[in-house]
Amino acid sequence: MNASKSIAFDMLCESFIPVISDWDHIIKGNVFIGRATNVSTYGETREAVRQILRKPDIITATHNSYAYSFTDIHGKQHQGYDDDGEFGAGSKLLKLLKDNKHDNVLVVVSRYAGDKLGPQRFNHLTTTGNAAVTSL
């Protein structure tokens, strides 16, 4: 497995939410790109997803799966995910957030598909997502 890693800080439009980019796994022609940012409302989550998915290196990815978890000002927990056609990917990312007690965070993992990886792709997806979240 080739692994190259670079961390870039991007500033999202008006909300100025820092996004950490962690380019992590390249295996059998598959590229997994993880991005994470702190969020505390649905509005911040939607805006961060929108901004991340507009990035030139992300917009053409085969799949852009994401998960979020945040606690609102009333102490209520909010969680969700989107698979973007990679069945089970979003729920694996949400499980990662829950198992590691990550809160007030959004993680997006983009995959450029290469050779088929089968179920092993989920290991690379969660490893990439975890690297992005722990870099916050």
User: Which ranges of the chain have pLDDT less than 50?
Assistant: 1-16
pTM for this structure? Answer: 0.84
Q: What is the rounded distance in angstroms from the CA atom of residue 68 to the CA atom of residue 39?
A: 8
**CATH class for domain 2-134?**
alpha beta
- Give the model confidence (pLDDT) of 45-77 as tens digits: 999 999 999 888 788 999 999 999 999 999 999
Instruction: Give residue limits of the domains in the chain.
Output: 2-134
**C-alpha to C-alpha distances, 131 to 23, 34, 85, 108, 134, nearest whole angstrom:** 9, 7, 22, 11, 5
CA 47 from chain center: how many Å? 14
Residue type, 134: T
